[in-house]
Structure 1
Amino acid sequence: MTGLLLTGARVVDALGTASEPVDVLLRDGRIAGVGPGLDGEGAERVPLDGRYLMPGLWDGHVHVGQWAAVSRRLDLSGARSAAEAAALVRARVDAGWDASEVLLGYGFRDALWPDAPSAELLEVGAVAVALVSGDVHTVWANRALLARMGLPADAWWLNEQAAFDLNVRLSAVDEPMLDRWVADAARAAAARGVTGIVDLEMGGAVEAWGRRAAAGLRALRVRAGVYPVDRDRVASSGLRSGDAVPGTGGLATVGWFKLFTDGALNSRTAWCVDPYPDSGSRGLPTYADAELIAVARDALAVGLVPTIHAIGDRAVTQALDAFAALAVPASAGLPPRIEHAQLVLPGDVPRFAELGVHASVQPEHAMDDRDVADHHWAGRTDRAFAYRALVEAGAALELGSDAPVAPLDPWATLAAAVTRSRDGRAPWHPEQALPLADALRASWGGVAGVAVGGRADLTVLDADPHAVEPDALRTLPVHATLVAGVRTHGPDA
């Protein structure tokens, strides 16, 4: 028996039209037919009984190894002060902790805390403690951790690259263990209808996905990011952006070359035109303009298309200027991208479409950071997380989570995009909410709809997303998920 015949499917398009029940034939990883009464000779019949079928969902920005590890860390996302975060650490130690292991916490957001963190607050005897901020741009540690890691006494609070470097060390586990964790995370993603991710793990993603696919992990398509530390190794293998990673059957491809121009809002290191009110700082640029262009051009010369992290408005301008100088050709394996674009000057909004630069954005960040933005970007939040303005100016959006900064759940992402609300709060700048049609298109990984010849990467839903209340998108039930015509979630997966 070859292929699958999905019978009684209501095909959903972005505009809100669900078809009358039709059959959808899948063969050799592709959609071979769509219509009523298909024969499907030799194919396994899978009755969908009027359920809703649409293209599979993508998460456009994931740090998959970190996301897989987060569930094994102390959750600090609810801490409203440094003292409260420290109390959670002490409670975990008091409940029993092996002092031979580092106690890792994750998820604190200190931008509005009423008190100041310190190394002393985290002193819990011989237990080494390291707490990673929700945006992953800060690590707060105690003296026992610094001694264990061979770091100086004043390194208890690290931002940006120093924090990234320490987090890589803290997150290090052997490959078999990490791959088991990633497999668990992939299954959980499939249960929410995810068929693909852009993995921007900070180093070694191309090789890691080759290894995982060879071991049988084929639940997702992956575009594997490349960092400067990886560039020469990947380039020497002859791989370019868009190329299939050997041994993955095309499920993993080489993604973008990741560069940073600034930090993050919560860390007050996002590079902005206007100063932060409490410090007078304008954030932390990573590169001078000419240096950024040179590094990006060198990557493009070996076939690696850049994506540039830019959160503050000054950083977004620098990133757009770099792409204007690069003039990435249409023949490149992927379109150029900017990651986050959280604060954009009005004059820069139309430049995304003019330059063909995609905006990789994370709507849940707007919900996480609305209060921080109201304080630190006061008077400018009408152009913060400005997704509607970008779409209306013709920009192509790609929605994602930045997991572990937000959960790898596209329905949470979609709900945040279309409601600009969460937890019963009033919508925040609702004029920047996306219509559901635009949000879906930005979540389908570049696919326009379910069509003959397209990849058989599909999500089957128990409800029509256009027919539910927008807030109900967060919990919309997923019946089944298929990647290349193979069931990765649902009955008989």
Structure 2
Amino acid sequence: MPQRLHVNGKVFTGRGEDDFVSAFAVADGRVVWVGETADAPTDEHVERVDLEGRTVLPGFVDVHTHPSLVAGNLGAVACTPPHVGNIEEMVEALRRSPRAGRGEDVWIEGWGYDESKLAEGRTPTAADLDRVSTTQPVYVRRSDCHSGVCNTRALELAGITRDTPDPPGARFGRREDGEPDGVLMELAANDAVLAAKETRDHAHAVRELAGTAAHYDERGIVAVTDMMARREPYDHLDLYRGARESGMRQRVVLYYDWAALTAASDGTPPDLPASARTGDVRVGGLKLFMDGSISNRTAWTADPYPGSDDHGMRTLTDEAIRAAHAYARRNGLQLVFHAMGDRAIGHVIDLFADEEPWLEGVPSVRIDHATLMTDEHVRRIGAARMDFGVVTQIVFFFAEHDSYVRNLSPERYRRAYPLRSLYAGLDRLALSSDAPATTWADPDDVFTSVQAAVTRRAYNGADIVAEQALTVPQALLLYTGRARRLADLPGVGLIAPGYDASFVVLDRDVFTVPVEEIDRVRVAETHIRGEEVHRRG
């Protein structure tokens, strides 16, 4: 018997582009009936909720994001537009950090800069950040979350000198005299500096993660992944399960960073216990980096970047891929490759196209970002023995338009994020945010991505390949009914019998508002498993 009946709504079920109903019933945290208000079950003991014509969607599923980084950014300084437009403003913002002046061991941190959005058009260096402090370490993460910059004090604490070799697949920026200049290119270079950072205790890390629940509730996100999970200094599985006990209701799937996992275990990580792969917080896969980013000219491309002979960076060896493949197959985990450049994407397909899938229900291999995916890539995926999935982020093209114009030839620019082609050609496709890894103050606002996908206009109104636009229902499916199939997240993404009663009620009808106003739509209510977790005041 239903406990609550929602009627008189415009309910997008997530099953298909035109699948709408007006009513649904909930019992014990699950949807038990879906249909039209006129056909709704009647019982005087059932609570009846009149939606009054409002629009209801399945709760959003963000299958490529970084809650642990989002949590860390809550105490860091935003170095993004509109707050910061030049290096001087960045320095001043960091000087105002609440951590400034708290002691020589306290790190001053920032996030989100992109040199293409700074008036100087260059990457800040240690010399710039030394103006913030020469006694406290200062570190600012770039918008792509791959690179960053630190001051001289941070370099000293990390023991990085002119004689320190570049890490595999990464680089330390250097002055003409060979001394490090504080610029940290790619993950291994950043990790070398952050390893010197003070470690917060386990309880603090759990509280910090639990604090992200309100962030996701407000945005209507009911299921997330963490694409950079680690086991050191604390196992993220333990942290997220602790956060769940502290009130975080989102379903969570963790993807261990393969490089960090192997580094923490002398190259041979132990197999996972079965308990790690079950429950509402579970380990679902491994994350590997095939290349860098378009905005930093480190994505691995077939043709060189304009004005250079640089093809970006390949950041992963075939030997490492084979080891990760064996581990994933043995432990029942998904392999997810960060691959933005066309050469990186093609290499992943080359390696796995003829391999036998080892998972059921989700793709065994995911290609994430897929910025320069071509029609030939799509054709090869369709013909492959392997079960591939693709997760992409139009929010990058939207927010980082300036760097895409600078770093892509006109022909490549026309091929960036071909959503319409991908939607038509791929069965397993999702949109996601990769928050906080872009130069935008609120990158995991789903409606920002939906508007960008539908209008194909950048933050500044520039065309970002209009012929690759999606419709509103198509874009929403890539955050709901189709997104649910890219990760092991049962029970979410649909308003259908047997699924979690995890849904959102909107303050405006996203299907009828002018497309230029989609980003103004807000989540009025979020419900997770039948419980209201957010109501907009």
TM-score range, shorter chain: 0.7 to 0.9
- Select which of 184, 200, 206 maps to 1:158: 184
The SS at the match of 2:213 is helix
Query: Could you tell which deviates more after superposition, 120-129 or 132-141?
Result: 120-129
Contact in 1 for aligned 2:2/2:32 (Cα 8 Å):
no
**Aligned mates of 1:477, 1:341 — CA distance in 2:** 28
- Select which of 431, 450, 473 maps to 1:399: 431
CA offsets per residue over residues 249-274 of structure 1, 9 Å max, x none? x3223222111111112222111111
- Select which of 426, 432, 451 maps to 2:496: 451
CA drift at 1:463: 2.4
**Aligned mates of 2:248, 2:293 — CA distance in 1:** 33
- Select which of 68, 86, 90 maps to 1:85: 90
**Aligned mates of 1:363, 1:389 — CA distance in 2:** 14
Any gaps of 5 or more consecutive residues in structure 1? 245-249
CA drift at 1:361: 0.9
What is aligned with 2:7?
7
Query: Could you tell which deviates more after superposition, 121-130 or 443-452?
Result: 443-452
CA offsets per residue over residues 312-331 of structure 1, 9 Å max, x none? 11111111222214332453
**Aligned mates of 2:306, 2:270 — CA distance in 1:** 43
Pair 1:304–1:430, CA change in 2 (3 A): same
What is aligned with 1:60?
63
Contact in 1 for aligned 2:229/2:257 (Cα 8 Å):
yes
Among all aligned residue pairs of Structure 1 and Structure 2, give the percentage whose two residues are the same amino acid: 26
The SS at the match of 2:189 is helix
Contact in 2 for aligned 1:299/1:306 (Cα 8 Å):
yes
CA drift at 1:345: 3.5
What is aligned with 2:252?
222
Contact in 2 for aligned 1:205/1:225 (Cα 8 Å):
no
Matches within 5 A, 1:141-152: 141-152=150-161
**Aligned mates of 1:394, 1:115 — CA distance in 2:** 38
RMSD of aligned Cα (Å): 2.9
CA drift at 1:107: 0.9
Pair 1:236–1:68, CA change in 2 (3 A): closer
What is aligned with 1:119?
126
CA drift at 1:290: 5.2
What is aligned with 1:195?
222
- Select which of 379, 399, 412 maps to 1:368: 399
**Aligned mates of 2:198, 2:28 — CA distance in 1:** 38
Paired positions, count: 481
Q: Does 1:384 align with 2:419?
A: no
What is aligned with 1:247?
none
Matches within 5 A, 1:411-426: 411-423=447-459, 425-426=461-462
Query: Could you tell which deviates more after superposition, 402-411 or 128-137?
Result: 402-411
CA drift at 1:65: 1.2
CA drift at 1:404: 0.9
Contact in 2 for aligned 1:350/1:395 (Cα 8 Å):
no
Structure 1 residue identity aligned to 2:253: R
Query: Could you tell which deviates more after superposition, 109-118 or 126-135?
Result: 109-118
Pair 1:177–1:472, CA change in 2 (3 A): farther
**Aligned mates of 2:521, 2:508 — CA distance in 1:** 7
Contact in 2 for aligned 1:352/1:359 (Cα 8 Å):
no
Structure 2 residue identity aligned to 1:117: P
CA drift at 1:466: 0.8
Matches within 5 A, 1:172-187: 172-187=199-214
What TM-score comes out, normalization by structure 1 length?
0.88
What is aligned with 1:128?
137
Query: Could you tell which deviates more after superposition, 35-44 or 68-77?
Result: 35-44
What TM-score comes out, normalization by structure 2 length?
0.81
**Aligned mates of 2:270, 2:447 — CA distance in 1:** 34
The SS at the match of 2:350 is helix
Contact in 2 for aligned 1:269/1:284 (Cα 8 Å):
yes
**Aligned mates of 2:31, 2:336 — CA distance in 1:** 31
Contact in 1 for aligned 2:209/2:240 (Cα 8 Å):
no
Matches within 5 A, 1:24-423: 24-35=24-35, 36=37, 37-39=40-42, 43-78=46-81, 79-82=84-87, 84-89=89-94, 91-92=95-96, 97-100=101-104, 101-111=106-116, 113-115=120-122, 117-123=124-130, 124-152=133-161, 154-155=179-180, 156-160=182-186, 161-167=188-194, 170=197, 172-203=199-230, 204-213=235-244, 215-228=245-258, 229-230=260-261, 235-238=271-274, 243-244=277-278, 250-289=279-318, 291-329=320-358, 331=360, 334-355=363-384, 356-379=387-410, 380-406=412-438, 407-423=443-459
CA offsets per residue over residues 326-349 of structure 1, 9 Å max, x none? 332453655421110111244213
Structure 1 residue identity aligned to 2:246: G
Structure 2 residue identity aligned to 1:429: V
The SS at the match of 1:391 is helix
Structure 2 residue identity aligned to 1:284: M
CA drift at 1:76: 1.4
Any gaps of 5 or more consecutive residues in structure 2? 163-178, 263-267, 485-491
